[in-house]
Amino acid sequence: MRLRRGISPVIAATIMTGIMLTIVAVALYYSTSLIDLNRQMMEYQYAKDNLAYAATALEQVALGTGGSRYIRFSLTSTRINFERYDSSVTITITDGRATNTTSIQSGRISVCGGSLVTTTSQLIVPESGDFAAEVSKLIVTPGEPIVLVYEDFQGAACAHLETYRVRAFYNGAINVTENNAVKRYNFYTVHVISLRFGQLGGSGTIPVVLRNTNSSLKEYRFSSPSVTITVSFGQRSESRLLMGPPADGSVVVVKVAEVTISTG
């Protein structure tokens, strides 16, 4: 009876060593990818949170307390873009007889995650609402944020801070003496932000500084107690009737707040 020869100990050791090395290499690859994914997701989430804070800070600097604010962004795997709009934001106010138009230039801030990060289209500021409706809205009320923040995926997971929205509202009525006669006017206010860009650049962790560099007021008078405001931005346009109680006319104040953004 012939005896079967066993596998050489050297060959067995070589096979076992190869198997173990393969297992270790696969484990290292997936653990490294998982660690990198978690790091990129955390950095992108941190950037989104900072962008939401930047929206509040921008509105405060532009229309509230003024001065300046700064936010630190980490750019290890996340990148930040400062973009000027190709189209101006045009505000037209009319009562059917007289018409006044104001145009301003502005822009947006975008942060994009690393190659392993993905997301879906969703709102950040405001936190809830219809995504398509909020992104396309050009005229907002005092209860709505004038600065919009949302995220989407177009080749990369990106969050965007937009400044094309305009806030318009009725303040009340004022009495004005004209030719020894007291006339009553409905008073409306229109707020718009002009985002400008200063010195930009840097890597690693950079400070993004928001500064209120100028604010201008434009006052328009109309003979009608109500006016219509139309905001145009690129191919989009939205109109809204601003209506007050019966009066001798209207006064509309357009406040353009210029905020300069820089990284130093």
From its phi and psi, is residue 234 left (phi > 0), alpha (psi between -120 and 50) or beta?
A: left
**pLDDT tens digits, 219-228:** 999 999 999 9
pLDDT band with cut points at 50, 70 and 90 for residue 38: confident
**Owning domain of residue 74:** 32-262
**Is 115 part of a structural domain of the chain?**
yes
Name the pairing type of β-strands 236-242 and 89-94: unpaired
CA distances for 106 relative to 82, 109, 251, angstroms: 11, 11, 26
CA neighbours closer than 13 Å in the CB half-sphere of residue 134: 21
**Is 13 part of a structural domain of the chain?**
no
Query: What pTM does this model have?
Result: 0.84
**Is 155 part of a structural domain of the chain?**
yes
10 vs 262: which has the higher pLDDT: 262
Record the tokens describing residue 193, joined without a space. Answer: 């932000």
Domain count, the chain: 1
Strands (E), 105-235: 107-112, 122-125, 139-140, 148-153, 157-162, 166-178, 181-197, 205-222, 227-233
**Is 46 part of a structural domain of the chain?**
yes
What pLDDT shows up at residue 65? 74
**Is 112 part of a structural domain of the chain?**
yes
pLDDT band with cut points at 50, 70 and 90 for residue 254: very high
Q: How many C-beta atoms surround the C-beta of residue 174 within 10 A?
A: 12
Q: Does the structure show a pLDDT above 60 at 51?
A: yes
Phi, psi for residue 21 in degrees, rounded to 5: -65, -40
**Is 23 part of a structural domain of the chain?**
no
